[in-house]
Structure 1
């Protein structure tokens, strides 16, 4: 599967320490990687600090395995007065296979904040 996106926001490889008791990569690890990618996109969009306030409609399609190359792609879904929603899709390439598989997708919502941590209007 070829992603319909251009370049990944981040690309990484999970380690054995990131596994759950079933031997797959722990879902929380995936969520945190997606949060990092979404935070990068949100900060660029709001031209400053942004914090995660919600995760909407998260779907796990396939497990991630140790040795997979994990790529997280994002697109700005909507921009409000103080918030921005980022649609994130996680694609993996299995260890020795070039086929790409969509494993998770969801929308993260971030709020732009000022230096005191209060919401601020996005300019």
Structure 2
């Protein structure tokens, strides 16, 4: 039951992030945040494989966002560093540590302003 609740919360979070992105036309940043949120949720549940998949998707979109928005490079570079760490930890099966790095990546994506 707890897993189902967590999945519902993660899905709602992803929907909220996606809805906000459409409203602000954020493009790759919103996709990066959506996948980062999914990665974090899976990491917290101990699903390293799923956390890894979403972290990799988030990383790809974060790199695209960085390239699209030169002024936000600093924050997107930091987000990319944390997503790289999230991927490393997820590959080692460390879901909780992966989730911590993903949370930091989300923070920097938000601060990028895009």
TM-score for the superposition, normalised by structure 2: 0.30
Structure in which a larger fraction of residues adopt strand? 1
User: Looking at CA atoms only, which structure, 1 or 2, has the larger radius of gyration?
Assistant: 1
